[in-house]
Copies of this chain bind each other. A is one copy, B any other.
């Protein structure tokens, strides 16, 4: 069984995609084929997509599913009229919200975190995210800068535990300044915190991983190396975890977690609020 899905939006399409995929994940036995059509912000563009939807309905066994975050009624009504199963996310929730809040919604296209020169608050929150991404890159892999005073959190762990993507994600999504420092064998042998980290103990967060999975990942990068050998991975992980326990560094096993989950769990454990609006 295969169903075609359209994610439609008058903006980037991220909300329709994110919510849509979460909903569809609840039907693991059905195979979905999805396309995203962003920036559908006029009745003319909507007509084009509606034609595409109708064409798919003719060709496939079952009508397409449309998941739609188009705000303006004049545009979304064109899609609604097409031959599809239609989920209109905004209409569904905006009316009840209007009642609860006692005001009309603005029905404008746009997002809270977009940079606009006429809105200094939003501008600031957005610039904070961009700054945090640059911070993550400048402080990746224990690089020279060591602006650890500025860091909100410092991720530590052996090579390939997910430090870099997690640091970048924390900046991108939440505006959290995350540095990361790789625990290399020289650090681990000493069995104490590397000097660069010693002054920042309360900002540290450890990542760990199951040795067998680590060996797999490292083998893709450097096949048949000592670095990737299971024996070495077992040793490094054991030493790193012992270091975390010794210095009471909170840590998390990333083996089965996505960067979204790693990041959300770290913020929760470290008690850091998600302080910047993301899109």
Interface residues of A (CB under 8 A from B): 3, 11-15, 17-19, 21-30, 35-36, 38-39, 65, 69, 71, 85, 87, 89-90, 92-94, 96-97, 100-101, 103, 105-108, 110-117, 126, 130, 133-134, 137, 140, 162, 164-165, 168-169, 172-173, 213, 256-261, 263-265, 268, 273-274, 277-279
Q: How many copies does the complex hold?
A: 2
> Are A39 and B264 in contact, with the CB atoms below 8 A?
yes
Partner of A168, one of B12, B108, B133: B133
A23 smallest CB distance to B (angstroms):
6
Contacts A14-B264, A22-B111, A256-B117; A30 near B101 (Cβ below 8 A) = yes
Q: Give the nearest-CB partner of A11 in chain B.
A: B261
> Are A26 and B94 in contact, with the CB atoms below 8 A?
yes
For A19, A90, A92, the residue with the greatest tally of chain B CB atoms inside 10 Å of its CB is A19
Contacts A39-B264, A65-B100; A15 near B18 (Cβ below 8 A) = yes
Contacts of A265 in B (CB 8 A): 38-39
> Are B85 and A100 in contact, with the CB atoms below 8 A?
yes
> Are A19 and B21 in contact, with the CB atoms below 8 A?
no
Contacts of A273 in B (CB 8 A): 35
Partner of A38, one of B116, B140, B257, B268: B268
Contacts of A260 in B (CB 8 A): 12, 14, 111, 114, 279
